[in-house]
């Protein structure tokens, strides 16, 4: 049945990659999803060229946020801080390979936001998820007016 | 004039669950191909037809600004708006309709008290006593007040069953708080707090009592004199009425002493270049054009509830909560937060299943047309106390059926299957 909870997602949820914390990390950040209170903590060790040598995350989260950050952290070794900051949201969505609804977008993007915040050394500004529809179309049957 | 509130034929004396459900058009909705099993009334209930119709009738035929015009429409609007205030007063057992101030919601009611009463009455070093089970709406305004004036906040702990620790409460009262702010019914645990006893103890210790009734007002009969509190906050959209409207009840002698909250039109006696004198309550606390239609809609929902009978509403809530607690006990690795089955245990029923995050539970239930909430439920200090980040929460309304709870259970079984449990 399940497109959202396909095996790859559940596998990363149950056994997330790069899970834990790096002692004496060069970069570190923690943030929460204010919508649900989920937390993720990211630690990054840099090599002599200031590129990601090792990355780890831990925290409490749903299948989508955990799998997204597990998949994301698999891809980041060798990237510079600038490259981390330039990562688009689609990078995560392509790794997930599933349709993410507006309500779950914050879950999918929590890890990316924390990684960017760690690179920046402060909370990365983040535009709100979800697309604004036309309220008239959404709730009013114009035929009746 | 035509009646602008309640008493539509569709809402006449509903005596069975079927008739009650027929009074809620939204329950005809299908979600993912199945009739919606709406188990999120604790966040916002569905609207009763009597309320929808009274708002519609007012908007179509009777609207004008209140308290101003000498023309017919303004007189009708004023009559309907003040009639709504009288209905609210009647529904909550207030002694006088002037004790009812219309606000946007329970959050605004509490902010009004924190600003108007709090700024005038709480000073540096004073204490405010909250509980660990409060909603953010009954925490943040007090933290903001404490920050403004240099006051201190204490927290009454809960025990492992989700009941207030009354011994600890009594001990904390010895610190002499100016105010005790406590929820009537927890929006996470389904605990009903002993408000009358809390008020008696608090008053003996010299504290005033604010009670957050956002969850209780749709579920239990209310009598302000019996509860013995000083402030009581309610919201319309959880009791089958519209959003954007709520009420603050305050003892009239206390309300008379309180300075205004927001400034503007309607709340004045006289304005000159030199200054302003203020109107008597409740107008003093209702600056600007109010939410007239919404006040009428909330009052209509209350009249409808009174027709059903709040004792019957309470019995239904207890029966559904009990049935849910009985059924979820069958689910392996499911942990319920809140008091066990028993008299007085109301909804909601909050729970977690080991190995499935609450969000994922809610997502899978939605595919079964079952609407529940997942998250911290705006009660993060309570989540910290329970040492969890989130729960799934099934909350009930007058229309909730045991069949809907059975569908919740089917959905939970499916969730366990999806996650390979």
Half-sphere CA count of A78, side-chain side, radius 13 A: 2
pLDDT score of A130 more than 70 = no
Query: What whole-number distance in Å separates Cα of residue B155 and Cα of residue B168?
Result: 9
Per CB-CB distance under 8 Å, the chain B contacts of A2 are 418
Residue of B nearest to A59 (CA): B389
At residue A127, the pLDDT reads 60
Cis peptide before B355 (omega within 30 of 0): no
CB contact under 8 A, B358 and A35: no
Q: Give residue limits of the domains in chain B.
A: 9-38+309-418, 58-306
Q: Of A2, A37, A64, which has the smallest distance from its Cβ to B376's Cβ?
A: A37
- Percent of chain B beyond pLDDT 70? 96
Cis peptide before B348 (omega within 30 of 0): yes
pLDDT score of B3 more than 50 = no
Query: What whole-number distance in Å separates Cα of residue B135 and Cα of residue B212?
Result: 9
> What mean pLDDT do residues B247-272 have?
95
At residue A126, the pLDDT reads 67
Helix (H) or strand (E) holding B88: helix B72-91
Closest CA to B136 of B111, B160, B117: B111
B58-306 and B9-38+309-418 share a CATH fold: no
Average pLDDT value for chain B: 95
Helix (H) or strand (E) holding A115: helix A102-120
pLDDT-wise least confident of A131-135, B33-37, B247-251: A131-135
pLDDT score of A136 more than 50 = no
| CA of residue B281 relative to chain centroid, distance | 23
Residues B297, B51 contacting (CB under 8 angstroms): yes
* Closest Cα in chain B, distance from residue A108 (Å): 12
Q: Would you tell me which residues 303-362 of chain B have a C-beta closer than 8 angstroms to some C-beta of chain A? A: 355-360
End-to-end CA distance of chain A: 41
Query: What whole-number distance in Å separates Cα of residue B276 and Cα of residue B287?
Result: 13
Per CB-CB distance under 8 Å, the chain A contacts of B389 are 36-39, 60-61
CB contact under 8 A, A36 and B418: no
At residue A139, the pLDDT reads 45
At residue B15, the pLDDT reads 56
* Closest Cα in chain B, distance from residue A60 (Å): 7
Number of H helices, E strands in chain A: 6, 3
pLDDT score of B330 more than 50 = yes
- Percent of chain B beyond pLDDT 90? 94
The 10 Å CB-count burial string (b at 16+, else e) for B346-368 is bbbbbbbbeebbbbbbbbbbbbb
* Closest Cα in chain B, distance from residue A101 (Å): 10
Third-level CATH fold of A7-122: Sufe protein. Chain: A (3.90.1010)
CB contact under 8 A, B375 and A104: no
The residue among B313 and A5 whose pLDDT is bigger is B313
The residue among B407 and A137 whose pLDDT is bigger is B407
Test mutation, B32, B40, B56, B359, chain A, max A CBs within 10 A: B359
Q: Give residue limits of the domains in chain A.
A: 7-122
| B376 touches A: beta carbon within 8 Å | yes
Q: Which residues of B are catalytic?
A: 378
DSSP string, B191-239: PBP-HHHHHHHHHHTT-EEEEE-TTTTTTS---HHHHT-SEEEEESTTT
> What mean pLDDT do residues B164-169 have?
98
CB contact under 8 A, A36 and B389: yes
pLDDT score of B62 more than 60 = yes
Beta bridge partners of B356: B353
> What mean pLDDT do residues B267-288 have?
94
> What mean pLDDT do residues A13-23 have?
96
CATH 3.40.640.10 correct for B58-306: yes
Q: Cα–Cα distances in Å, from A44 out to A28, A73, A76?
A: 6, 10, 10
Third-level CATH fold of B9-38+309-418: 3.90.1150
Q: Cα–Cα distances in Å, from A105 out to A110, A128, B319?
A: 9, 10, 37
Structure tokens belonging to residue A102? 């507006």
> What mean pLDDT do residues A66-92 have?
95
Structure tokens belonging to residue B23? 């009074």
pLDDT score of B2 more than 60 = no
In B7-112, which ranges are E strands?
A: 30-31, 34-35, 37-38, 100-103
CB contact under 8 A, A39 and B390: no
Identify the residue whose tokens are 């499935």.
Answer: B356
Residues B311, B294 contacting (CB under 8 angstroms): no
Q: Of B364, B380, B420, which has the smallest distance from its Cβ to A37's Cβ?
A: B380
At residue B343, the pLDDT reads 82
Cα-flanking dihedrals φ and ψ of residue B150, to 5°? 80, 35
pLDDT tens column, B63-110: 999 987 789 999 999 999 999 999 999 999 999 999 999 999 999 999
Q: Would you tell me which residues 5-64 of chain B have a C-beta closer than 8 angstroms to some C-beta of chain A? A: none
pLDDT tens column, B97-126: 999 999 999 999 999 999 999 999 999 999
pLDDT band at residue A142 under the 50/70/90 scheme: very low
Cα-flanking dihedrals φ and ψ of residue B127, to 5°? -120, 150
Per CB-CB distance under 8 Å, the chain B contacts of A63 are 356-357, 359-360, 419
Q: Of B364, B376, B420, which has the smallest distance from its Cβ to A36's Cβ?
A: B376
pTM recorded for the entire structure: 0.91
pLDDT score of B7 more than 70 = no
pLDDT score of B1 more than 60 = no
* Closest Cα in chain A, distance from residue B174 (Å): 34
At residue A101, the pLDDT reads 87
pLDDT tens column, B122-142: 999 999 999 999 999 999 999
């Amino acid at each position: 049945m399940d497109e959202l909870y396909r095996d790859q997602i559940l596998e990363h949820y149950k056994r997330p990659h790069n899970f834990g914390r790096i002692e004496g990390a060069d970069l570190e950040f923690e943030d929460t999803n204010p919508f649900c209170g989920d937390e993720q903590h990211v630690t990054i060790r840099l090599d002599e060229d200031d590129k990601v040598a090792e990355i780890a995350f831990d925290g409490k989260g749903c299948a989508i946020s955990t799998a997204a950050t597990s998949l994301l952290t698999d891809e980041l070794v060798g990237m510079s801080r600038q490259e981390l900051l330039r990562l688009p949201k689609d990078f995560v969505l392509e790794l997930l390979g599933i349709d993410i609804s507006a309500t779950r977008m914050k879950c999918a993007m929590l890890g990316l936001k924390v990684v960017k915040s760690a690179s920046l050394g402060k909370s990365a500004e983040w535009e709100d998820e979800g697309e604004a529809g036309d309220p008239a179309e959404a709730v009013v049957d114009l035929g009746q007016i | 004039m035509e009646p602008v509130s309640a008493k539509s034929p569709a809402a006449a004396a509903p005596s069975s669950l079927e008739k009650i459900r027929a009074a809620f058009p939204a329950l005809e909705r299908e979600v993912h191909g199945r009739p919606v099993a709406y188990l999120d009334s604790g966040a916002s209930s569905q609207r009763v037809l009597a309320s929808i119709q009274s708002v519609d009738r007012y908007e179509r035929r009777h609207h004008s600004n209140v308290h101003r015009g000498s023309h017919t429409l303004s007189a009708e609007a004023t009559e309907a708006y003040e009639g709504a205030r009288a209905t609210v007063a009647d529904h909550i057992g207030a002694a006088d309709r002037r004790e009812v101030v219309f606000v946007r919601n329970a959050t605004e009611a509490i902010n009004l008290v924190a600003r108007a009463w709090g700024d005038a009455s709480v000073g540096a070093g004073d204490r405010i006593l909250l509980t660990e089970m409060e909603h953010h709406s009954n925490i943040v305004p007090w933290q903001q007040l404490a920050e403004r004036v240099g006051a201190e906040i204490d927290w009454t702990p809960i025990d492992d069953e989700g009941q207030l620790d009354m011994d600890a409460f009594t001990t904390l009262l010895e610190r002499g708080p100016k105010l005790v702010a406590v929820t009537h019914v927890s929006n996470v645990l389904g605990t009903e707090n002993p408000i009358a006893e809390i008020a008696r103890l608090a008053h003996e210790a010299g504290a005033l009592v604010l009670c957050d009734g956002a969850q209780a007002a749709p579920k239990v009969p209310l009598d302000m004199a019996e509860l013995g509190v000083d402030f009581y906050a309610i919201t319309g959209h959880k009791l089958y009425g519209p959003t954007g409207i709520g009420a603050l009840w305050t003892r009239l002698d206390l309300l008379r002493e309180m300075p205004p909250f927001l400034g503007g039109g309607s709340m004045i006696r006289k304005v000159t270049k030199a200054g302003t004198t203020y109107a008597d309550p409740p107008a003093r606390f209702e600056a600007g054009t109010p939410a007239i239609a919404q006040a009428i809609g909330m009052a209509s929902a209350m009249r409808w509830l009174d027709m059903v009978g709040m004792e019957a509403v309470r019995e239904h809530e207890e029966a559904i909560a009990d049935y849910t607690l009985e059924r979820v006990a069958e689910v392996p690795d499911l942990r319920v937060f809140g008091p066990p089955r028993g008299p007085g245990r109301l909804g909601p029923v909050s729970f977690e299943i080991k190995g499935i995050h609450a969000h994922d539970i809610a997502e899978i239930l939605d595919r079964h047309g079952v609407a529940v909430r997942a998250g911290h439920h705006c009660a993060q200090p309570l989540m910290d106390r329970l040492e969890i980040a989130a729960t799934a929460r099934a909350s009930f309304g007058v229309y909730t059926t045991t069949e809907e709870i059975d569908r919740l259970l089917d959905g939970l079984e499916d969730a366990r299957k999806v996650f390979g449990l």
